[in-house]
Amino acid sequence: MSLIQQQKRDFLPLLTTMSRLLATMAPWDGQKGLKQVKQIIRVSVVLWLFVVAGMSAVVAGTVANLYDEQLVVESQSPETLKKAAAEALERVFIRVSGRGDIASNAAVAGVLARPEPLITQYHYQRSKGENGEDILLLSLSFSPRQVNSELQSAGLPVWSANRPAVLVWLLADTAEGRQFVGTDSQAELLKDLKEVAQRRGLDLQLPLFDLADSTNLTSDQLWQMSVDDVRRASARYSAPFVLMGRASQFSTGQWIASWMVLQGDEVIRLESEGLDGRDLLARPVGALADLQASKYSVVASGGVNSANSLIHVSGITNFAAYADMITYLEGLAVVQHANTVWLSDNELILELVLNDDMEKVKRFLSLDGRLMEEPASTVVMNSAALSVRGFYRWSGRHL
């Protein structure tokens, strides 16, 4: 069941109840009261439509600012800028490659020793730290083309911004009791989670923690690490990856945690500990990033392990749709170029020049539903002479 279907199931009984209440109240409240209750129902419907519009099934997202970084620095001196730029560039390399040990590569280490040519812009700004102290922030942006090129030259993968969603169920046991992270409690741990996920380039998603969630998954069930219960509660979100965990904080402030990563039928178990939230979260988030990168990042093979493939695409109604589709395909790390080789009405055949194989292309396309695969039997093609590897329909919209 999709998230929208779940929301309909949860909300429509409420509307039915309100309608029955309206019928009961109308004679007692008179026309004025009837008008007010009708207005309440109309407002409720509108609010629900806004909710559904903003909460379509969570499958994948575009990770923003992959090539940007911000650091706290002590001064605006050239030496400080160079040192900070190297640290920022290393973080960008980690996010874009999906590799946490990027600095151990000799070619990357050479680039980090001289990061200035990859900077496209930088600026300083004064701000306040967590404790209200004055701090100096340095924001840097790096050239995506040059970053990707340096990674490819070093024989390292490139992971595009289109990444699978990770739904996180985390229960924290502290002096305040057991609480879900992401509700109104555990704000500091939630902040650490978002920061660590951003460092590794994960598309982090949190549950709604609404009535349906509280019914589908209790704190006791999560504390017992019940995989079946978490899977059932996660089904409404359609996230390809689920991270579930229970964390305990000692009186010293130290944390320990148990984790499970769910992907389909696969379950990966992890343990972590740390003096603070960032230390605690580094291992599970890093393991997830490594797992996703192994599936979705692409090492440029120079044609050694890749081959050009032809795909049939329908649903191209105008030039804007065509341009959007080509931009989308060529934005995937696995596709170098998408060249049109045949065109008729609202359908065409594209030759994909690939950095990897067609299976990885299909893996990327399944993430967001913008290019939906169709059964070959449903497609009537006017160019049977071409050997096509797949049939797709362009929707242009995320799932």
In this prediction, residue 343 has a pLDDT band, given cuts at 50, 70 and 90, of confident
The one-character DSSP state at 63 is P
In this prediction, residue 377 has a pLDDT band, given cuts at 50, 70 and 90, of low
Between 307 and 95, whose confidence is greater?
Answer: 95
Between 354 and 202, whose confidence is greater?
Answer: 202
302 has pLDDT over 70: no
8 has pLDDT over 60: no
Which pLDDT belongs to residue 250?
96
Least confident window among 129-133, 332-336, 382-386: 382-386
Taking alpha carbons only, the member of 397, 385, 333, 321 closest to residue 361 is 333
Which pLDDT belongs to residue 45?
41
CB neighbours of 333 closer than 8 A, spacing ≥ 6? 157, 158, 159, 160, 296, 297, 298, 355, 364
d(CA 139, CA 71): 7
d(CA 83, CA 114): 9
In this prediction, residue 110 has a pLDDT band, given cuts at 50, 70 and 90, of very high
Which pLDDT belongs to residue 206?
96
Taking alpha carbons only, the member of 107, 99, 111, 244 closest to residue 166 is 244
Tens digits of residue pLDDT in 42-76: 444 444 433 443 444 446 678 999 999 999 999 99
Which pLDDT belongs to residue 95?
96
Least confident window among 17-31, 87-101, 324-338, 360-374: 17-31
| Structural contact between residues 168 and 285, judged by C-beta atoms closer than 8 angstroms | no
d(CA 189, CA 253): 12
d(CA 285, CA 292): 11
Tens digits of residue pLDDT in 249-274: 999 999 999 999 999 899 999 999 99
* Burial 30-67, CB ≥16 within 10 A → b, else e: eeeebeebeeeeeeeeeebeeeeeeebbbbbbebeebb
Q: How far is CA 5 from the centre of its chain?
A: 21
Sign of torsion over alpha carbons 363, 367, 368, 372: positive
Least confident window among 90-94, 253-257, 310-314, 352-356: 352-356
In this prediction, residue 32 has a pLDDT band, given cuts at 50, 70 and 90, of low
Taking alpha carbons only, the member of 260, 277, 278 closest to residue 269 is 260
In this prediction, residue 35 has a pLDDT band, given cuts at 50, 70 and 90, of low
- Counting residues of the chain whose pLDDT is more than 90, the rounded percentage is 63
What are the beta bridge partners of residue 169? 244
Mean pLDDT of 324-335: 89
In this prediction, residue 37 has a pLDDT band, given cuts at 50, 70 and 90, of very low
In this prediction, residue 364 has a pLDDT band, given cuts at 50, 70 and 90, of confident
Which pLDDT belongs to residue 383?
53
Taking alpha carbons only, the member of 376, 389, 385, 377 closest to residue 310 is 389
Taking alpha carbons only, the member of 167, 159, 278 closest to residue 217 is 167
CA angle 244-247-252, nearest 5°?
Answer: 165
- Counting residues of the chain whose pLDDT is more than 70, the rounded percentage is 80
Both tokens assigned to 130: 């967590």
Mean pLDDT of 290-311: 79
Please name the CATH architecture into which domain 166-299 falls.
2-Layer Sandwich (3.30)
Tens digits of residue pLDDT in 177-212: 999 999 888 999 999 999 999 999 999 999 999 999
Mean pLDDT of 101-125: 95
Q: Which residue is associated with the tokens 């499970």?
A: 260
Which pLDDT belongs to residue 332?
86
Residue 8: CB atoms within 10 Å: 15
How confident is the prediction for the chain on average, in pLDDT? Answer: 84
Taking alpha carbons only, the member of 383, 381, 332, 378 closest to residue 358 is 332
d(CA 386, CA 170): 51
Tens digits of residue pLDDT in 120-173: 999 999 999 888 999 999 999 999 999 999 999 999 999 988 899 999 999 999
